[in-house]
Chain A
Amino acid sequence: MLNLLTILRNVALVLGVLAIVANRLHSGEISVAVASNFGNTIRALVAEYQASSEDEIKLILGSTGKLYAQILHGAPFDVFLAADEQRPKLLEEESITISDTRFTYAIGRLVLWSKRSDLVDSKGSVLEAGDFRFLSIAHPKLAPYGQAAKEVLMKMDLWEALAPKLVFGENVGQAFHFISSGNAELGLIAHSQILQPGSLTEGGSRWLVPSNLHSPIEQQAVQLSEKPESRRFLAFLKNEPALKIIREYGYDTP
């Protein structure tokens, strides 16, 4: 019995020391939960940020809905970069965020894209001609880019007519993959996805959808922890040169 107590005490001691060491090692590290459409952009941003900062940024990529549910149930993220304004707002209403930290960091643009160089014209009239079997979009209920795609098709009065040709990706990344694998001829996806350097998107044909055809895809950020690193990183996102990188990756900036 006495032995057991000694062992327990020693274990507790070791754990305590480890915790202190781990804490030291990890000071200056924050976890940033990022909507997957912003993945490549955030990597470029983090590289830029770390050129002038000691702070470590750990990225967690996922769909906005999933990340939202995880944060709601206590996931230890410090910053949340969502693909919409709805989830950050909901978190704010639940008082999970640091108040007055919500802002729009990027405004998404839709593009109609095909791997075939002769399919998409500069006005998107291929949608009216309907000369294709599958049009890939993200699920309107799950993904802001899917919702925007639906709005575009409704505005063009094609939603009903094209319904039998629609295939839905669970997120805009999957919608992109349906096209890039050649299974869908074309699709409405995020402009940032086909601007990624070294991707499979060279060649092909595209139509950058005018932003007045859908309500703006405002991607919002919120701060979730009081850590100064979180505040510093968000401040970085609001300024040039971060905004310049964001624009280079196909987003508008506020």
Chain B
Amino acid sequence: MFSEPDLIALSLTLKLALLSTFILLIVGTPLAWWLTVSRWPLKFVVETVIALPLVLPPTVLGFYVLIALGPNGPIGGFMELIGARSFAFTFSGLVFGSVLYSLPFVVQPLQNAFQAIGSRPFEVAATLGASPLDRFFSVAIPLAKPGFITATALGFAHTMGEFGVALMIGGSIPGETKVASIAIYEHVEALEYDRAHLLSLTLLAFSFIVLAIVYSSRRRFSLIPS
């Protein structure tokens, strides 16, 4: 049914989405927590920067990432300085771009979930002698579980559908940077509509299932009395 290059593109997309989501949760959780508890007056600047990928065309993001990765850009220049290879046209580069691109989809649900907990449970936990770290792990994280589910699913689904960034910094290398959305685009451009349909329908079905799982589980959680 699928041609081999298409299968490679699909599995690459899956790998990219899984790895990016994992990194997003690790980076996004402390970030969202800090945004919830911090009283720093310039916090809104950080929030604005994180939200930018929501409104910017992905090609803009990809364009700047590509320039930043180049030998004259800040990241590429630094990598050259320490003798490392540049990120451009590599899978690591795509992961880097995806994390930037999907950050608001992970941070915002987590921040909302942390905020919804309120200060009361933490005060109670503190009275019972829980350290700040303990309070974070045994109160904040369990109570924010619905937020984690939403963040994981949105981060994952959004990375699956990434196109503009991958187009700008990927270079369409099979097995390395040629993800499913790029493969679809190339099929359409090359008038291979059948193969484009097959891949598109697969992505459509997959996204539907992921989002359906989120929304059904959300309902279950909201039934739990808080």
Q: Write the residues of chain A forming the contact surface with B, with a CB cutoff of 8 angstroms.
A: 63, 65-66, 69, 133-134, 136, 139, 141-142, 166-170, 174, 177-178, 181-184
Contacts and interface: CB of A to CB of B under 8 A. Distances in A.
Could you tell me the dominant secondary structure of chain B's interface residues? Answer: loop
Given A167-B173, A170-B172, A181 B186 contact: no
Given A66-B189, A182-B72, A182-B76, A136 B67 contact: no
24 contacts: A66-B189, A133-B85, A134-B89, A134-B171, A139-B172, A142-B189, A142-B190, A166-B173, A167-B172, A167-B173, A168-B172, A169-B172, A174-B167, A174-B168, A178-B66, A181-B66, A181-B67, A182-B72, A183-B66, A183-B70, A183-B71, A183-B76, A183-B86, A183-B89
B89 A167 contact: yes
Given A182-B72, A183-B66, A170 B189 contact: yes
B88 interface: yes
Nearest to A143: B189
Contacts of B66: 177-178, 181, 183
B54 interface: no
Q: Which of A142, A166, A174, A181 counts the most B-chain CB atoms under 10 A from its CB?
A: A181
A147 B160 CA distance: 29
Contacts of B169: 183
A168 B70 contact: no
Contacts of B70: 181-183
Given A181-B66, A183-B69, A183-B70, A167 B171 contact: yes
A141 B187 CA distance: 9
Q: Which of A136, A174, A182 counts the most B-chain CB atoms under 10 A from its CB?
A: A182
B188 interface: yes
Contacts of A133: 85
B137 to A, nearest CB: 41
Contacts of B186: 139, 141-142, 170
Given A182-B72, A183-B66, 19 more contacts: A63-B189, A133-B85, A141-B186, A141-B189, A141-B190, A166-B173, A167-B89, A167-B172, A169-B171, A174-B167, A178-B66, A178-B88, A181-B66, A182-B70, A182-B76, A183-B86, A183-B169, A184-B89, A184-B171
A121 to B, nearest CB: 21
